[in-house]
Amino acid sequence: MLTIYGIPNCDACRKARKSLAARGLEFRFHDLRKDGIDIQMLERWSGKVGWETLLNRKSLTWRQVPESDRQSMSRDRALALMLEEPTLIKRPVLESDAFTAVGFSEQRFEDFLAG
């Protein structure tokens, strides 16, 4: 089963859901705030795409992280921060048994869904 992990009011998540629905693909939406996340999810995703890709450095939440922490960010610290504040996760995370994708791109979705 295809799962989209995100936040309902996120524009990229809405675009991804709309794109998948338009293709008639069945998926489940997992609200990162309401349904929660755990360290196993973050470790699984970061193992596939890298923690740097998973970390949303464009979010308002990221800008609130002290500059000294941002400069010396490590994998473990990044995962701990994402666990505390899910808006630090780049969205959406699209996951199935075959692949994991982070962020929305029509072309990337086409490539993943075709392969």
The residue extents of the domains of the chain are 2-114
Tokens of 74: 């490590």
Query: What are the pLDDT digits (tens) for 77-96?
Result: 999 999 999 999 999 999 98
Structure tokens at 8: 């309902």
Length of the chain: 115
106, pLDDT greater than 90: no
Residue 35 has pLDDT above 80, yes or no: yes
pTM (2 d.p.): 0.90
CATH number at 2-114? 3.40.30.10
**Residue tagged active-site, from 10, 49, 73, 113:** 10
pLDDT at 44 > cutoff 90: yes
* pLDDT at position 67 over 70: yes
Q: Are 28 and 13 in contact (CB under 8 A)?
A: no
Residue 10 designated active-site:
yes
Q: Which helix (H) or strand (E) holds 17?
A: helix 11-22
b vs e for 28-51, b when ≥16 Cβ sit within 10 Å of the residue's Cβ?
ebbebeeeebeeebbeebbeebeb
